[in-house]
Structure 1
Amino acid sequence: MNASVNILNDSISRQTIVAIARRVAAFRKRQGLSLDQLAARAGVSKGSLAGLEKATGNPSISLLCQTAAALGVSVSDLLATSTPRKAEAFELGGGKVLWRGQAGGTARLLYGTRGPLMFELWEWVILPTERYEAKAHSPGTREILYAMKGNLGAVVDGEVFEIGPGQGLSMETDVPHAYYCAGKQPARFRMIVVEMPTNGGLRKNGPAGAKKSR
C-alpha cells in the first residue's frame, strides 16, 4: 500500500510552520485580503487557510503552492529562504524538508526565487512503499525531473511514465500528478519547478526522456 504524509512535525519543522504562518498572514493583510477572499482565490477551504495562519496543522506542499500563487509570491517567499540579490550561492545539501513519507522519504526545497515568477530546485527521495499525490498547480506550471538513483514513476493527468538513473521527465503540472518509487530501491531525483504568471505563454511540449509504463 502506498502512503504519504505532509510536512514534518519535528522541532525544526515546527519553527518553519510558525514562520510560514506569520508570512502568509503578513502577505494577506498587506494586500487587504480577508481569509475568505484569499481562500477563494487560492481554491482552498477557509479552514485550511486559517489553520495555516495559526500554525495549527501540517500544511501540504500543495496548500503552500496554491496559497503562494494566490498571493503572487513564491513558496520561498513564504519560507523566507530567498534574497533579492542578483546572484546567490547555496548549498545543495541544505534547504528545508517540506515532506516526509511514512517510510522515511523526503522532499527538500534546496532553493527558490522570490516573487510571482517561481523557480525552485528540489531534491526528493521516495522509498518503495511511498507515493506523493499532488493537486494541479497554477496554469503553465512545468516540472523537470532528473533521476539520480533508483527508478522513478510519475503519473501526469492519468498517464504513467517511468525513468531510471540519468533520464529526465518534463511535465506540465497544471493537472493532478503523482510521484512514486518504481523499483525495489529508493528513487532519488532532483526537480526543477517553473511557475509562470498566467499569461506567461509557456509552449506545450510533451514529456521528454521517458517511456510510458505498460
Structure 2
Amino acid sequence: MQWFPTPPTDNLYKFFAISGLLMLGGALFVIFALAYLDYRTERETDDSLYHFSSQQNQQQFRNRITAIKNLEPKKDLIAHLSDKLNNDLEFLTNALKVQTEIDVGYKARTPDTLDLVFDFVQARETFSLVAGLIYIVIAACLTVFGISCWRKKVQIPGERLNELDEEIKKASLLKLQLEIAQMQPMSETVKRLFELGDLMRPAK
C-alpha cells in the first residue's frame, strides 16, 4: 500500500533545470554588478584625485595672487610656471577662475547598498570567491541533473512511445489493407460461380 503520492517527476526535473539556470543567471548578474562597481569605484577615485589636485592648484594661485598684491614677488612661487607667468596677475586670476569653474560640478557621492556589498566582498575576498565558486558549481549541477534526468526519463521514453504508437497505427493499417485484399478474391469467386450457374441452366 502506498502511503505517499508519487511526486510528479516531470515537473521536478524541470524545476531543477530551471532553478539551476536561474541561479547561473543570478551569478552572471552578480559578476557584472561587481565589475560595474569596480569600474565606478576607479572612476570616482580618479575624480577625487583630480578634485584634490584642483583644490591644491587653486590654493597655490590664491597664495601667489595674494603675494603679488602684497608686493612680495619671491613668495609662493608656482613651481611649474615660468617667472613671467608667476608675475602675470591677469593670467593667475584667469587660471584661478577656470580651476574654480571646473571644480564647481564635483560632489562626493553618498555610499549606497551596492557600495556596502562591494566593500563586504573586498574585505572577505577569499571567502566570497570560494562561496561564489560553490554557488556556481551547485547551479551547474542542478541544471545538468535536471536536464539529463528529464531527457533520460521523460523525453526519450515519450519519443519511444510516439514511435511505438506510429508503428501500431501502421501495423493496424497494413492489417486492414490485407483483410480488404483477402475479401476481394472471395467476391470475384462468388461472381464466377454465378456466371457458371447461368451457363449450366438449360436453354428455354
**TM over 0.5, yes or no?**
no
Please indicate the TM-score interval, normalised by the length of the shorter structure.
under 0.3
The TM-score, its normalising length taken from structure 2, stands at 0.18
**Greater relative CO (CA pairs within 8 A, separation 6+):** 2
Higher fraction of helix: 2
Structure whose alpha-carbon radius of gyration is higher: 2
The TM-score, its normalising length taken from structure 1, stands at 0.18
